[in-house]
Structure formats: structure tokens, C-alpha cells
Structure 1
Amino acid sequence: MAANTPKTIPEYLDQLRAALRDADPALVQDALYDAEEYLRSELAEHPDKSEAQMLAEIAGSYGAPEEVAEIYRDTEVKVNRALRTPPPPPPRTALGRFFGVALDPRTYTALIYMLLSLATGILYFTTVVTGLSLSLGLSILIVGIPFVILFVGITRLLSLAEGRIVEALLGQRMPRRPLYAQRGKPLLARIGTMFTDPRTWSTMLYMLLMLPLGIAYFTFAVTSLSVSLSLIAAPVLIALAELGWIDMYAKVHIDITPLSAPLAFVFGVLLLFVSLHIVRGVGRVHAEIAKGLLVKTAQH
């Protein structure tokens, strides 16, 4: 057996983490989870073998930590290339860059995320506030301990679900597996790790922030789109009203006249494209916020 061959599953996971130290934290989390699941299942199927014997054999089948890390890196590159939407040709002029935002699919997926964020923000905020309140209230009772553990587990599941939404709509690589279970540790130690893990608390912070952010995102998206589209549609509506096809003036008060309608149209188009740029920018910034607060980056 080679001198650096891991003799325990935690040692194997430590070596795999070290081999992936410069990789995306989301990829590291997925690799650690998959490796532990595989190693634990192999150990359960061969109870007659020690961890050291089993790991020595796995080094030739599943792969040594360095080999597994390289496989994950190569697979990540291939998957990203296969799933990535071919970008449109880069515009050469400032005017092209300004109007080219309409050709970027991420603009519209970010817009969908902003519209969804109000609902998800309410869900996350309600879950965290209710969970923390009940946890504090039940902490004096025995039933409070399992409730707190359940609450933390629910926040981790919501974090994983939010990560999938962020990756699908905002394009940020997020974990596709939960945090690896560290089943080799005693149960109390694993529970203690949940509460000492900074990501447990940063996840709750993210979920609390999602309510004000969701309100801001939803309000901006709806307001900017409705105002800009209304201004764009103004010349058509005024023309129909002048022809007598619709009775717009009797129902609403408007300050746009037939002479100012072309200016309203131009302003509406400019406002629409400025709004799309802001939407795309918000999507990129929020993706970084989600990555920073939801993904475990600690190496230990």
C-alpha cells in the first residue's frame, strides 16, 4: 500500500478536498458528497474488510483522491460546455452593446428570477423567523432540541433548492448535492458541526435578506416594465383613440398628446433597454451574493 494511501474515509475525503482546493466550492461540495456516499456503501457491502483494505482496493477502481479530483474537473468542463447557450456575437459598437442586451438569454432568466423572488423571499423569511422563534420558545423543553435540529435541516434543504434556482436562472454554479454527511463522526459531533458551521448562519442571513431583496426586485421589475411598455404603446393607443376605435380619454386621464407621442415612444424604448441592463446586472450581483452566503468555502 502506498504511503499516502488513505486508511480511513475521513482521510480520503481530506485528501480529495486538498486535491480540489482551487476548484469551485460548489464542485468540491458535490465531489465530497458523492465520494462519501460511494465509500460508505462499499464499506457496508464488505463488512469483512477494514476501511484500510477497502480503500486500498478502491484506489484501483473508484480512484485515488487525486484521480477523482481530476475526473471531476474534466467532467465539469465538459458539462459546462454542453449546457452553455452559445453567446451571441459580441457587438462592436456602443449602440450595439446597449441594444444587444435584448439578445442575451440571461437577461430574461434574471427577470424571471426577480419576479419569483418575492414569493421565495416570503417563504424563506417566514421559515427562518418562525423556526428561530419556536426554537427559542421550545429551548427550555426537551422537545426543543430535536426541533432545532429539524429547523436547521430544513434551512439546508431550502438552501439547496435556492441554489438550483440560482444556477438555472442566474447561471452561477451552485451545489447539486447536500453537504457531505461526515457519517464517520459520532452523532453529537455531527450535530455540533451543524451549529458551528458558519454556513448554517449565513444561510439564515441570506433567507432573511431575501424578503427585502425580493420586494425590491419584484417592484423594480414590474414598475420598470409596465412604465416602459406603456410609453411604447402610447402612440398606438392614441392613434386608435383619434380614429375613434377606442375611447381611451373617457376612461383615463393622460398627458400624452399626438405631438408628444413619438417622444414618449423613444423614451419608453430607452427606459426598457436601461431596465434590461439593470436586470441583467442585478442577476449577476445576486448570483455572487448567493454563492458567498450559501456555498461552503472553508477547507476544514
Structure 2
Amino acid sequence: MNAPVPRTIAEYLKQLRAALRGADPAMIQDALYDAEEHLRAELAERGDGDEVAMLAEVVGSYGAPEEVAEIYRDQEVTVQRALRTPRTPPRRSLIGRFFGVAADPHTYGALFYMVLAMATGIFYFTWVMAGAGMSIGFSILIIGIPFLVLFIGTVRALSLVEGRIVETMLGVRMPRRPAYADRSLPWLKRIGAMFTDPRTWSTLLYMLLMLPLGVAYFVIMVTGICLSVSLAVAPWIALFVQHAEIGGIYVDGHAWPPHAWHVWMVPVISVIGILLLFTVMHLARGIGHLHGHLAKHLLVRCRESDV
């Protein structure tokens, strides 16, 4: 059953939301923003403010909400294919799956994100704490409310930046457009909607969490990489550079355990280091997967009632 022809921009967007129900929330956010931008540009060009006539023309040119929704669903297939890592030959053996993590580009994206997360976490935490503190301090002055609105606006803008980082490095679909806001409402109601939007507060929570998470990610990554590489390389350096010994106890000039035992341990320790390195890669990929879903849950409207 076809929906009635929308008579206002708000009705058009409502029908578009309904047609996109069940789709990726990030894609829905982008579609609503793009549609509203197009419709309001068309209305501004007409100059008469007649939304009914404008929408009647737009349904024939831009497309009805159901048609636009179908176009976005088709485009999303292409986007998801682009985000997917290149397919590698299937590995059935446990050894193949274990070492195959090195061929996954998202592994290296997650490793780099774990390093970057410490810097972004410090910045986000500082920005939120400083902004919230100054907003509270200015609340007794006339500039308190405008400053708070500006601060919340910057936080929502930073969420888009973080979304682009997450999508690029972790391969999780994130919005490319700001959250949809009904521009037909008076500006006071729009400001009120911004403060009653759960995504505003979940974004603040995400930015506060990024500091402890960023520190933990950085420590795990640096410690794991340094330890594994050291175990893999250091024994060979100790063995061949200047005839160095690998530890041991010396009694009357004789080493115990004997030197031959040390030589036998060199490849064993090196193999342990290599195995640890691949374990760290698996851990990084798992952390990247979990963090991507955390970012999507807190930075995007994921509830069915919101879309």
C-alpha cells in the first residue's frame, strides 16, 4: 500500500524514516540529512514557501520516500562492500587461521587505532571536562546558555570526526552527516531537542570513556608488540653479537647451564616471541571489533524508535 503524498517536509522525512526502518542507523542518519538539505534548497529556490507544490514536484524528480529509501539501500550495499576487507583464501586449519590474521588489513588498522586512541582520548576527555566546567561556571552569566549550546554543538561535531576515524581504521559503518533535526521547529525547541536527544549524552559518555580506554589500548599494544619482538629478536642478537651469553651462572669460569643448552633455547624463545606477536594481532583485531560496535552504539541512534 502506497503512503499518501507528503504535504510538508516533516511528513516527507517521516515517511523516509519509516521506509528505511531496519536499515543501518548510520545510513538512515545520512539519508535524512541529505533529503532535508535537498528539500529545503528546493523550497528556497521557489521563493513562495509553498511546501505542498514543491513536494509534488520533488516526488516526481527527486523521488518519493519509498523510492529514495530503495536507492539508499542499494548504495549501502556498495558502501558495505568497500568497508569489507579483501577476501583471502579460506583457511580451514587452526594454524592457517592463527597466522592468517597478518593478512587482514583491519588488524593493522586496529593496531594503529590503539596507538591513536590515547591521543584522541586525552583530547576528548579534556574537551568535555573543560567545556562542562566552563558551562557550569558561566551559567550565572548571560553568556552561560549560548556557551553551553556551542559546547554541545562542538561535541556533536567531534562525534562525526571520531566516526570517520572509526570507519576508516576499524571498518564499522558510521554516519557521514550530522544527526537529523527538524528545522521547521522554532530554534528554542530545536535547542531543547538537542538536549533531550539521548545521543548527545551518550556522545559525552563515549568521550569520557575514551581516556581510560585509550590508555589501556596503548599499553596493551605497546607492551605486547615490544615484548613479542624482543623475544623474537633479542636471543639471536645476544648469541651472535660479540659472542654474548644468554644469562647463566658462572662457576670457576664455566657457565651453567652449558653454552650448548643456551644455543638450543635461542630458537625456542624466538618462536615464543613470534607466537606472542600473532596473539597480539588477534587481540588487537578483537579489540577493534568491540570498540567499533561501542562507538556505533554510543555515537549513532541505534534504537528502532529513533529511526
Give the distance between the partners of 2:148 and 2:289, measured in 1 at CA: 34
Q: How do residues 47-62 of structure 1 correspond to structure 2 at under 5 angstroms?
A: 47-48=47-48, 50-62=50-62
Give the distance between the partners of 2:206 and 2:55, measured in 1 at CA: 39
Deviations 1:144-199 (A, max 9, x none): 10000000000001100000000000000000001123211100000000100000
1:83 deviation in Å? 5.3
- Give the TM-score, by structure 2 length: 0.91
- Give the TM-score, by structure 1 length: 0.93
For the 8 Å contact 1:241–1:248, the answer to whether it is kept is: no
Give the distance between the partners of 1:126 and 1:239, measured in 2 at CA: 48
Deviations 1:25-67 (A, max 9, x none): 0000000000000000000000225101100110000000000
Q: How do residues 247-258 of structure 1 correspond to structure 2 at under 5 angstroms?
A: 257-258=262-263
Match of 2:27 in 1: 27
Query: Is 1:179 aligned to residue 184 of structure 2?
Result: no
Q: What 5-or-longer segments of structure 1 have no aligned partner?
A: 250-254
Match of 1:281 in 2: 286
1:213 deviation in Å? 0.1
For the 8 Å contact 1:29–1:179, the answer to whether it is kept is: yes
For the 8 Å contact 1:155–1:204, the answer to whether it is kept is: yes
Match of 2:165 in 1: 165
Give the distance between the partners of 1:4 and 1:296, measured in 2 at CA: 27
Residue type of the alignment partner of 1:223: T
Deviations 1:1-37 (A, max 9, x none): x970010001110000000011000000000000000
Q: 1:82 and 1:272, CA in 2 relative to 1: closer, same or farther beyond 3 A? A: closer
Match of 1:189 in 2: 189
For the 8 Å contact 1:224–1:275, the answer to whether it is kept is: yes
Query: Is 1:263 aligned to residue 233 of structure 2?
Result: no
Give the distance between the partners of 1:91 and 1:235, measured in 2 at CA: 31
* SS of match in other structure, 2:92: coil
* SS of match in other structure, 1:63: coil
Give the distance between the partners of 1:49 and 1:136, measured in 2 at CA: 40
* SS of match in other structure, 2:62: helix
1:234 deviation in Å? 1.9
Match of 1:252 in 2: none
Match of 1:205 in 2: 205
Give the distance between the partners of 1:7 and 1:160, measured in 2 at CA: 31
Match of 2:301 in 1: 296
1:282 deviation in Å? 0.2
Q: Answer with 1 or 2: which has the greater Rg.
A: 2
Task: Give the root-mean-square deviation of aligned CA atoms.
Answer: 2.0
Greater shift, 77-86 or 146-155, is seen at 77-86
Residue type of the alignment partner of 2:140: I
For the 8 Å contact 1:235–1:258, the answer to whether it is kept is: no
For the 8 Å contact 2:246–2:262, the answer to whether it is kept is: no
Equivalent residue pairs, number: 292
For the 8 Å contact 1:118–1:217, the answer to whether it is kept is: yes
Match of 1:149 in 2: 149
Q: What 5-or-longer segments of structure 2 have no aligned partner?
A: 248-256
For the 8 Å contact 1:229–1:272, the answer to whether it is kept is: yes
For the 8 Å contact 2:225–2:277, the answer to whether it is kept is: yes
